[in-house]
Amino acid sequence: MSEPLPLPALHASHAGTWLRDPNGPTRGCSKGEAVMAAADTPLLMMNAPLVANRLGYPDLNGLDLLELFAFVHPAEFCVPTPKGLAHALGLDEPADDADVPLLLQKAAGALVATCESEAWEQREGAWSTLQSLARLRWPWAGVLAPHIRRPEKAEKWLFTKLPEWEETPERAQPQQVLIEEAEIEGQLARLTGEGAERREGQRLFSRDAGSIFAPRDRQKRPHVLLAQAGTGIGKTLGYLAPASLWAKLSGGTVWVSTYTKNLQRQLRRESARAWPAARPDGSPPVVVRKGRENYLCLLNLEDALQGGFAGRPAILAHLVARWAAYSQDGDMIGGDLPGWLGTLFRKRGIAALTDQRGECVYAGCPHYRKCFIERSARAAAQADLVIANHALVMVNAARGRDQGGRPTRIVFDEGHHVFDAADSTFSAVLTGQEAIELRRWIVGPEKNSRGRRRGLAARLADVASYDDAGGEAVEAAVEAAHALPSEGWLARLAEGAPLGPVEELLAQVRATTFARDESGLEAGYGIETECAQLPGELVEAAGTAAQALAAIRSPLLKLAGRLEAVLEDAPDWLDGQGRARIEGARHSLAWRIDLIAAWEALLGRLGGPADPEFVDWLQVDRNDAREFDVGLYRHWLDPMKPFAKVVMESAHGLMMTSATLTDRDESGPDWAHAIAKSGAPHLELNPKTAQADSPFDYANRAEVLIVTDIRKGDIPAMAGAYARLIEASGGGVLGLFTAIRRMRAVYGRIADRLARAGLPLYAQHVDPIDTGTLTDIFRDDPRASLLGTDALRDGVDVPGESLRCVVMESVPWPRPTILHRARRAAAADQEGGAQRYDDRIIRARLAQAFGRLIRSRDDAGHFVVLSSAFPSRLLSAFPEGTPVIRVTLEEALQRVAKGVGGTQERVEPDAAESQSS
């Protein structure tokens, strides 16, 4: 057992502030005293930005235990709370807040002792990194220096240490195989384990899932299955059984697409039952594939380490380099880089280390053969199973680099999100932020810019010097791109001094939006106005901007032609790597050309008659009244039309599955609508449908309480209700809001009071912690509660004790946006009309939120909606048999305090509106 580190320690929560001297004692103190102490000497603390937030003093620095953890145990998981740190280090949990400073000293002692231990697995690279961190005055450097011995041999530098990926031949097309149902059942039995209880719903689901792997009979007519699978039927193994069989027999790749990272992690775990971690040749049969902006770009990291970053961001870069040496796959967003690491450094450091702007130089990059992104793309091309997200699957189907890499057998899990993902993937968005990204990609570094950004000319220097026409095209594109917005464009718009035709257009867009918006959307947040009856100046500015865009697109097109010519008639100096780089450039050129063409089309329609297939509007994005983007938007009225064309048509088999695929009104599941929404009718396909109901005992394990005596908009009453519900259930509450402003107001009123009762409260958009980490904290502490908005409604998977009660602030009506209005109007002449359109959205949201509550057979809990007027027609959102009771807050508190199941007596049938009735 190591000794506590004798340094002063500070802990601040909503309940108070505690200081501990190097050798004790711990005492409560005022916030002012804590701030003074921190200014005098570096204090041990945990999550400095959070402590600063609690003390109301933004410039707090100290010896942050999380930074030390990231250094000592890179790529290891730790919930960033005192309790989580104690668990990660095998120490006793602190009994209360006053116990935390001593824990910090013990944790620091344990981490320092690890650095001295021979058994320290992550020793390699630590000494060298520490020397760099000492030069950057990292507060821990002096503390650690005496405890990390200098290695006898020079340590391998990260860029030497990482393994190289191997070039592999293209995979042959899959064999046509037919899998028998008996084989699927056998495989399912193997995956679930012989001892597993036999689940009839899962067996049928698995057989149905197998149908999408049958050989296709006609071109552009894939097998399509829509399968509704209630929570708990085991759908993941249900589809992995036929998928793994098919992949093995055919030699092809199955893509499973999810909406949340959570499900991706679960899939990675469960797929281990069907596939080994590696094949005999070492390659992975299962690969998680994400968009390139998720991965560490080694070239950006190298630049950051060599002076591209200064001060605190440079410290972050060194900690990221430590992580990169031990990371499984270099995934920075939701992978094994702790989600909290970036937020400790407050700036956008993490994003700057990824390849956000598509500036990759491919084979021109010195780290190309070690690049995490390239490795993952190559591994995916050879994999049996690729786990990806909806957006990436759609993008790959639309513009995958090669035909072989395009998904053809696809399972869309969390299928109720496919519509939204298609909506954003197939939209056209011309905003200042998007346009400036394009400028950077073409022009490269301009004055005052830091970093390694390279423009088109630098990326294609060798081609330009070899091929005159190509060189001229690059020059022309760079010159034309100066028409795009540049740094400082938002300030210039606000001052009425735009520069160039696109900024002129955006200034008009901004002025018109402010003049016309009367949406009543949340004050201080985004505003918008439709593209109708637009002022002449705006239409004129759009014409000029469209010409400027065409002037950029045309040399890019010419350049694409030249690159093709160079590849066809390759010069001697063009080796494999050079060819790969030109291929890469051609690919990224193609999608920029498409992007600009879509912008031109969007502008070309302004002022003309509206196209009934699209919804166009102008928008100013704001956060707390601070503007951050301005632009024009074009969405498909039905985004499943391009989805059908791009994704379905080229697929051989495709399945959408979810617990909430269909709407359910009083008459039962609405399959006709689910089919219409799947996109299949656009190809005149009639998908197969299947349904497996949840085996959970909702009647006895859950209760819906509709609290009728809290008036809408009465924030003090709502805050009081949240606080009392959290107290009644002893924490374990997930609070869901439809507006950030109301959530903040409620949080501000109740966080201190709850903390004093030992019930920590966390909130999205308030605590300086990313959403994934907030969920980890919530999951880890049964007394914690979490408030949040949309992202938590179906991104949270917290089985067991930690989630006992979900509270919704009101009926989740859709936001009355222009896009919503257009789709609602389009639904007006369908059965049920516009109201049914809204009802479906609300029921889907209620069903998703309810789905957070019961994640396993043993879960039980309450679902509370604060609504004095909850329409009965929405109650069918809850699973059949779930008791629904309209109550006052007092009654709700009593029921929540008693709990559901076991301790609580049965609900009298006449008191409950049972869903089975």
Rounded Cα gap, residues 721 and 465, in angstroms: 71
Nearer to ligand SF4, 358 or 720 (CB): 358
Shortest distance, CB of residue 684 to ligand SF4, whole angstroms? 42
Shortest distance, CB of residue 298 to ligand SF4, whole angstroms? 4
Nearer to ligand SF4, 205 or 309 (CB): 309
Question: Residue 374 carries which side chain, given as an amino acid letter?
Answer: E
Largest CA distance in the chain: 86
Shortest distance, CB of residue 452 to ligand SF4, whole angstroms? 8
Residue 724's Cβ-count burial label (10 Å; 0-12, 13-18, 19+) is middle
Nearer to ligand SF4, 581 or 664 (CB): 581
Shortest distance, CB of residue 402 to ligand SF4, whole angstroms? 18
Exposure b/e, 509-540, CB count within 10 A at least 16 = b = bbbbbeebbeeeeeeeebbbbbbeebeeebee
Q: Are 778 and 734 in contact (CB under 8 A)?
A: yes
Nearer to ligand SF4, 309 or 368 (CB): 368
Shortest distance, CB of residue 403 to ligand SF4, whole angstroms? 23
Residue 206's nearest CA partner among 179, 228, 188, 180 is 188
Residue written as tokens 């011995």? 149
Q: What is the number of helices (H) and of strands (E) in the chain? A: 37, 25
Shortest distance, CB of residue 301 to ligand SF4, whole angstroms? 8
Q: How many CA within 13 A on the CB side of residue 483?
A: 18
Q: Are 776 and 88 in contact (CB under 8 A)?
A: no
Shortest distance, CB of residue 297 to ligand SF4, whole angstroms? 3
Shortest distance, CB of residue 136 to ligand SF4, whole angstroms? 23
Site residues (CB under 6 A) for ligand SF4? Answer: 297-299, 355, 360-362, 365, 367-368, 371, 373-374
Nearer to ligand SF4, 375 or 510 (CB): 375
Rounded Cα gap, residues 894 and 905, in angstroms: 12
Specify the 3-state DSSP secondary structure of 556.
helix
Residue 548's nearest CA partner among 588, 603, 494 is 603
Length of the chain: 917
Angle at CA of residue 229, ends 223 and 232, nearest 5°: 145
Angle at CA of residue 503, ends 591 and 595, nearest 5°: 10
Rounded Cα gap, residues 124 and 158, in angstroms: 10
3-state secondary structure 225-238: EEEEECCCCCHHHH
Rounded Cα gap, residues 772 and 782, in angstroms: 17
Nearer to ligand SF4, 355 or 776 (CB): 355
Shortest distance, CB of residue 487 to ligand SF4, whole angstroms? 23
Axis-axis angle for helices 235-250, 261-271 (nearest 10)? 60
Shortest distance, CB of residue 291 to ligand SF4, whole angstroms? 12
Shortest distance, CB of residue 324 to ligand SF4, whole angstroms? 11
Rounded Cα gap, residues 490 and 493, in angstroms: 5
Q: Are 896 and 729 in contact (CB under 8 A)?
A: yes
Nearer to ligand SF4, 378 or 553 (CB): 378
Shortest distance, CB of residue 368 to ligand SF4, whole angstroms? 4
